[in-house]
Structure 1
Amino acid sequence: MQLTNHCFMKRLSILAAMACLTACDKSGFSYDNVVDGGNVQYSLLDTLQVQMRTVQLDSVRTSGTGTGLVGSYADPVFGKFTSHTTFRLGLPPATEPGLRAIYDSLELVIWPDGHYYGDTLPPQRFQVYQLTRPLLLPDEYFALFSHQDFPIASAPLADVTQYIRPTSGKALHLRLDDAKGIELFEMIRNKSDDLKNEDYWRDYFKGLSIRGVNNTAAFRLLMNDTAVVMRLHYHIANTTVEEKTIDFRMNLPELQFNTFRYDRTGTAIAGLQPGPDGISGEATGNKTFSQPLTGAVTRIDFPSIAALQELGRYGRIMSAELVIKPDNSTLKDYPLPPRLTLTLADKKNFVTQGDTLSDAAGVQYGNLRVDKLYPENNQYSWDVTAYCRAMMTADVYTYRGLLLAAPFSEFHTQLNRIVVGDGNGKQYRAQLKIYYLLYE
């Protein structure tokens, strides 16, 4: 069959790469279905094209993660980021303060979980708002996403500036408006109908939103019924003062969600928009960018993989490894993500199912090798043998590319980011290494 010019050039590039290689280490591989005495060529191909680009995914699901992300910060590579979290509170346990009870204060108690991004040394300002519409799933939605928001009251219930030490293990106490506290206290004492059941309560107290104001860091919070409490303090004066509390705890954790806003003005990916094209590595200095929580991920394709079939009728990929190197110049104050995964994606960058990337545990996190003496040798690697074998014979319907992203458990809750070299980079070049067996 006559080859097209495009295929012919791909074949020439592969043959040239094989011809330039000297002896390879063949240990550790089995030669299945190879007849003794045949003409066997066994080569390492490490010049195959690795095409990489940064793409923008659609809105990220953020509800039901058990974490809230609140605050803002400026990243020199990824731009400005702002987030707030929204949630509902349930009814308190039945209680009767009595006529001798005296209101003291109302506060929101929340717990950081230790994860943060940015500069935590300056004081941070937070505001707490009531929702003006009940926090419910919109029609035809199964979850809430990062682009969604609910309207809030014009005035905050709290406006607090304080120092936060997210790794101290201490809770944050945000003092709320006393007018609201007294109102709630009198409703409890008078057994208001608004406290009759959850439906009445939801119509009265529609939900809360915690928002940062010009912060220098974004903080992650635990979001569950033990870590988020609106606490009403009161006391009863007898011969001694008896201090008491009434707790409104977070409920319906599946509805708690985070809303993100980002501004990439002035960055290399300022023009990144949702869609299949993205921005090529060549357009951003032979680098690609990944911060899954904001929807920026790296797309990887091997456009010449199908041309391996043209080397001969009987050939087999014995092993294939993808190696990606982080750009060390972008890592000041930003640690390397300890785990990164490769995910199958169609031409529109929708994640698809498949078993060509799974290891024995069902997922590959990437093998991170850190060289503290020579950081330029830091790298992630993945076994892509099964994937490359499948893509050799893929057609327009079955072809899948790869997305470089955080593991699913971290994708919706962490701001970890990374910049890596693409397949044409010099110092941090990405490589696909294929051990190929050809039997004539």
Structure 2
Amino acid sequence: MTKFYQKRTPNFSSIYKLALFAFFVFTIFSCNKEDEIGLDLIPQKEMLNLEFCDTLLLKSYTVYNDTFSTKNKTLSLVGSYHDPIFGKTAAGFLTEFRLSSTDVEFDETSYVNSFTLNMVVDDYYGDISTPMTINVYNISREINTETEFTEFDKNQYVTEDSLITSFTFTPSQNGQDTLIKINLPIEFANRFLGYSDQEFIDNAKGLYVTINENETSESILYIDLVSSKSNLDLEYTYFDGEDSVTTNFLYLINSACERQNIFTHNYEGTEISSEITLGENSINEVNYIQAMRGVNTIIEFPDLKSIVQDQKIAIMKAELVITESEDYVSSDYQACEKLNIIVLNDSLEYLNAPDYDILGSEHFNSEYINNSYVFNMTAYTQGLITSDVYDNSKLIVSAFANTISANRVVVNSGNSATNRIKLKLYYLKL
């Protein structure tokens, strides 16, 4: 298997960010202070008189992640790993498949030569030199995408008789080939020869592809199901008079097919389990963040308004710095390449941070650089101080591309003795 890499976006110019935020903040204050001199009229020498603060205490703790949808994602994950910090994590997926054409007819002379499930591997996480066993099940009901799977009940979709095949392989031994080919039993394929188009729709509900529950593969594969090379390939032979003809018919897995990622996490016996129990009462020096709907870190700013008191200030720049804990750096389990932040308001609504709306996803979500993640939170911080929109709000910090990646990271908390979560403020007194 080729060594995949995750694409990085170029760094957004920090000068441009600062200019953009400054313009945004100046605009807010010009609008809100109609009876006062606008910030654009403040003498240049006063503009240089910036105050700086990075000593505000922040509150942080770890919670389960129930925020992100796992439906119809660009990648489908399969595999497992056992992390000494995060416990055992497993991934699988449900998917429909469809006829590539409705004008095919299998007559009574037709017979199956082979039936192959082809899946394109886009990337991976973990140790791909460890063998992996993939189980493929035939599901008995339509994929329900109306609700999220907080806890997947396998028995709602499959029975003991639903297992089609098990396939054991070592991903690293695929060499340059990024296509997994799983041979499905002829007996399973034969049922499709007898189906009319409508019978296929009525009976072919889809597949459940998952890891063998009795083993740990130590890697998660990122499968691109909507690739034109991902499909079910039926090779069959029929007779045209006395001549035999061998051909192929494809069952497609494409964007029109319902797909759902399934993740399970077992934190029993880990530090995370006790942290979840403590919740916002935690005084631990670290917090945890894991993709695949694992765990998030919550950050609150209880002391932010203490710098305001009876004065008015304009935030010129506010940087939220989140640092990976040195005690938990692992060469075996790579840290999240990016983190994401959303706002949870006091009405329990999920909102984009205003800085996200200004910069967009590509430039707001912080990359992992020098063991840290830095977010420009200028507009959000100003809103906390001057508006009631964000009163009692919290920041939810999660892994970027949460439901299509498997990374995790342990970060210093707001209670950490060194390199704690920090808000760096540059502001003007008005």
Q: Shift in Å at residue 414 of structure 1?
A: 0.9
Rounded to whole Å, the distance in 1 between the matches of 2:365 and 2:390 is: 27
| CA contact 1:130–1:153 (8 Å) conserved in 2 | no
Please state how far the C-alpha of 1:303 moved relative to its aligned partner: 0.9
Asked whether the equivalents of residues 64 and 253 of structure 1 are also in contact (C-alpha less than 8 Å), the reply is no
Quote the Cα distance in structure 1 between the aligned partners of 2:43 and 2:379. 24
Number of the residue aligned with 2:300:
301
Counterpart residue identity of residue 415, structure 1: A
Assess, with a 3 A threshold, how the Cα gap between structure 1 residues 279 and 308 changes in structure 2: closer, same or farther.
closer
- Aligned-pair identity in percent equals 23
Within the candidate set 161, 164, 171, 2:171 is matched to 164
1:147 correspondence with 2:147: no
1:422 corresponds to: 413
What letter corresponds to residue 413 of structure 1 in structure 2? I
Q: Which residue of 2 aligns with 1:110?
A: 119
Q: Residues 97 and 219 of structure 1: is their aligned pair in 2 closer, same or farther, counting only changes over 3 Å?
A: same
Q: Name the CA shift for 1:421/1:388 in 2 (closer, same or farther; >3 Å).
A: same
| CA distance in structure 2 between the partners assigned to 1:431 and 1:227 by the alignment | 46
TM-score by length of 2: 0.78
Residues 230 and 49 from structure 1, CA distance in 2 versus in 1: closer, same or farther, beyond 3 angstroms? Answer: same
CA 1:428–1:331 in structure 2 vs 1: closer, same or farther (change >3 Å)? farther
* Aligned with residue 234 of structure 1, among 233, 236, 241: 236
For 1:145 and 1:246, locate their aligned partners in 2 and report how far apart those are by CA, in whole Å: 33
Q: Does 2:79 align with 1:79?
A: no
**2:378 corresponds to 1:385:** yes
Between the aligned partners of 1:340 and 1:86, the Cα distance in structure 2 is: 27
CA separation in 1, counterparts of 2:350 and 2:216? 34
Pair member with larger Rg? 1
The number of equivalent residue pairs is 385
Unaligned residue ranges in structure 1 (runs of 5+): 1-27, 188-193, 371-377
Q: Quick check: 1:287–1:421 contact (8 Å CA) kept in 2? A: yes
Aligned mate of 2:253, from 250, 253, 257: 250
**Deviation digits for residues 85-129 of structure 1, max 9, x if unmatched?**
111121243334556544322221112112x23322122111111
Query: What residue identity is the alignment partner of 2:159?
Result: A
**Inter-partner Cα distance in structure 1 for 2:138 and 2:203:** 10
**Per-residue Cα deviation, 1:146-188 (whole angstroms, up to 9, x for no partner):** 5345421323111121222378443111121222223333x1x
Aligned to 2:268: 265
Q: Secondary structure at the match of 2:142?
A: coil
Relative distance call for 1:429 and 1:245 in structure 2 (3 A) is same
SS at match of 1:282: coil
| CA-to-aligned-CA distance 1:259-282 (integer Å, 9 cap, x gap) | 1111001211114559xx735552
TM (norm. structure 1) is: 0.77
- For residues 292 and 134 of structure 1, the distance between their equivalents in structure 2, rounded to whole angstroms, comes to 27
Report the Cα distance in structure 1 between the residues aligned to 2:234 and 2:257, rounded to whole angstroms. 25
Q: Secondary structure at the match of 1:436?
A: strand
Distance 1:382 1:167 in 2: 39
Cα shift at 1:306: 1.1
Deviates more, 1:84-93 or 1:145-154: 145-154
Alignment of 1:270-349 (within 5 A): 270-271=273-274, 278-279=279-280, 282-283=283-284, 286-310=285-309, 312-328=310-326, 329-347=328-346
Name 2:5's counterpart in structure 1: none
Aligned CA-pair RMSD: 3.3
Q: Match of 1:326, as an amino acid?
A: E
Q: Write the distance in 2 (CA, Å) between the matches of 1:357 and 1:183.
A: 51
Secondary structure at 1:324 match in 2: strand
3-state DSSP class of the match of 2:222?
strand
Amino acid aligned to 1:432: L
Between structures 1 and 2, the one with greater helix share? 2
2-structure distance, mates of 1:345, 1:405: 13
The answer to whether the 8 A contact 1:60-1:145 is kept is no
- Cα gap change, 1:111 to 1:215, in 2 (>3 Å): farther
> Structure 2: which 5+ runs fail to align?
1-18, 27-38
- Aligned to 1:412, the other structure's residue is in SS state helix
Identify the range of structure 1 (321-330 vs 121-130) with the bigger mean alpha-carbon deviation.
321-330
Q: Could you list the per-position Cα deviations for residues 31-89 of structure 1 after superposition, in whole angstroms to 9, with x for gaps in the alignment?
A: 75557999x97432121112111122326411111321112211121111112211112
Alignment of 1:117-196 (within 5 A): 117-137=125-145, 141=146, 144-145=148-149, 147-149=151-153, 150-155=156-161, 156-165=163-172, 168-185=176-193, 187=194, 194-196=195-197
Distance change (3 Å), C-alpha of 1:74 and 1:46:
same
By how many angstroms is 1:345 displaced? 1.6
Matched, 1:55 2:63: yes
- Post-superposition Cα deviations, 1:229-275, rounded to whole Å, max 9, x if no partner, equal 2222223589997532222222564521011111001211114559x
Paired with 2:132 and 2:44, the residues of 1 have a C-alpha distance of 72
One-letter code aligned to 1:162: F
- The worse-fitting range, judged by mean Cα deviation, of 250-259 and 123-132 is 250-259
Judged with a 3 Å threshold, the aligned counterparts in structure 2 of structure 1 residues 349 and 336 are, in CA distance, closer, same or farther, namely farther
Aligned partner of 2:321: which letter? V
Residue of structure 2 equivalent to 1:369: 369
CA offset at residue 400 of structure 1? 2.1
SS in 1 for 2:271: coil
* Aligned partner of residue 160 in structure 2, secondary structure: coil
